[in-house]
Amino acid sequence: MDMDQDGSDDAPARAPDDAPAPVRGGAEGDPRRRSGAAPGRAGAVDRQHGAVIDELGRQIATGRRPADSIMTVAGLEADFGVSRTVVREVVKVLESLGMLRLKRRVGITVQPRSAWHMLDPRVIRWRMSDPRERRAHFLAMNELRRGLEPEAARLAARRGSPSQAARLADLAGRMRSLGGAGRGATREFLQADTDFHELVIAMCGNEIILQLGSLIGSLLVERTHWAMQPDYPDERAMDAHIRMACAIRNHDEEAAWRASSYIVNQADEEIRLGRP
């Protein structure tokens, strides 16, 4: 639906705890392509746009704006101190995620959770920002991971190339080295861990699993961001990464499946027990 456009103001700053998690993409869209605006002004609009998407998305995801509540364009302009142009773009993005619906003569309606794109990294991040539901949400997502990643490991053992298997072994070794040095909660460990699991997904050769596999990277990012990753990861989990890499290199599908299952179950147990 159409909304009129005019100028823009700066969006409110976010508290440090609301900062985006590491290894993230930028704001949606590029006003420079649409309007021909000067780079400085376009950059400011981009930053406003991204900040308001994050804040409004978080408010919806955490229940501060509950399902079926109705907002207006003017109300959002006032709430965030931004232009109708920014509000229009923000609503478009959140509509694309199933979180809002814009209807003429009704307004902007918050949609029920059943309509949300739950596997989108932004929705995951916003839901994880609620400390009341963070653990339960992580466990729910890990249930999906349990049904996905061990099968991907099995297929990776069947279809992966020698060069991919060698890279996987290198990543497992790097994780073990970093974890043993007490650097399990660092960006370096997160990058190696994410690269390892994304490579397993890529090696499986199944396009559907490949699309769902982005969930695993999001889980790892959020776990580190919200201090749910220990400085010294469980040595048994590190060994399981080594075993999985070896099994995939040796085309041992069952061993790869078992090692992957152990990793997922161990992560689940740590979250249930409140570690770290």
Q: Which residues are CB-neighbours of 36 under 8 A, at least 6 positions away?
A: none
**Given a cut of 70, is residue 184 above it in pLDDT?**
yes
- Residue 198 has which token pair? 């994304």
Res 43: pLDDT: 65
List every span in the chain annotated with CATH 1.20.120.530. Answer: 131-272
Name the residue with tokens 């142009």. Answer: 85
For the chain, give every residue range classified as CATH 1.10.10.10.
16-115
Using alpha carbons, list the distances in angstroms from residue 252 to 74, 165, 246, 264: 60, 12, 8, 19
* % of the chain exceeding 90 in pLDDT: 72
What is 131-272's CATH number?
Answer: 1.20.120.530
Retrieve residue 169's tokens. Answer: 């072994």
In 10 A of CB 108, how many CB atoms?
24
Residue with tokens 């003569």: 105
pTM equals: 0.77
DSSP string for the chain: ---------PPPPPPGGGSPPSS----SS-HHHHH---HHHHHHHHHHHHHHHHHHHHHHHTTSS-TT-EE-HHHHHHHHT--HHHHHHHHHHHHHTTSEEEETTTEEEEPPGGGS-TTSHHHHHHHHT-TTTHHHHHHHHHHHHHHHHHHHHHHHHHH--HHHHHHHHHHHHHHHHHHHTT-TTSHHHHHHHHHHHHHHHHHT--HHHHHHTHHHHHHHHHHHHTT-S-SS--HHHHHHHHHHHHHHHTT-HHHHHHHHHHHHHHHHHHHHTT--
Residue 227 is predicted with a pLDDT of 84
- pLDDT, tens digit, 9 for 90 and up, residues 229-268: 899 999 999 999 999 999 999 999 999 999 999 999 999 9
pLDDT tens per residue across span 112-162:
999 999 999 999 999 999 999 899 999 999 999 999 999 999 999 999 999
At 23, is the pLDDT very low, low, confident or very high (cuts 50, 70, 90)? very low
pLDDT at 46 over 90: no
d(CA 176, CA 193): 10
Can you name the CATH fold of 16-115?
Arc Repressor Mutant, subunit A (1.10.10)
Tens digits of per-residue pLDDT, 50-78? 999 999 999 999 999 999 999 999 999 99
Q: Quick check: 44 pLDDT over 90?
A: no
User: How many Cα atoms occupy the beta-carbon half-sphere of 41 within 13 Å?
Assistant: 12
How far does Cα 146 stand from its chain's mean position?
17
List CB contacts of 248: < 8 A, sequence separation 6 or more: 153, 156, 157, 160, 165, 168, 200, 203, 256
Q: What are phi and psi of 56, to 5 degrees?
A: -70, -40
The distance of Cα 174 from the centroid of its chain, to the nearest Å, equals 23
Cβ-contact 207, 159 below 8 angstroms: no
Number of Cβ atoms within 10 Å of the Cβ of 69: 12
Residue listed under structure tokens 């099994």: 247
In order of 80, 115, 161, the CA distances from 95 in angstroms are 18, 10, 41
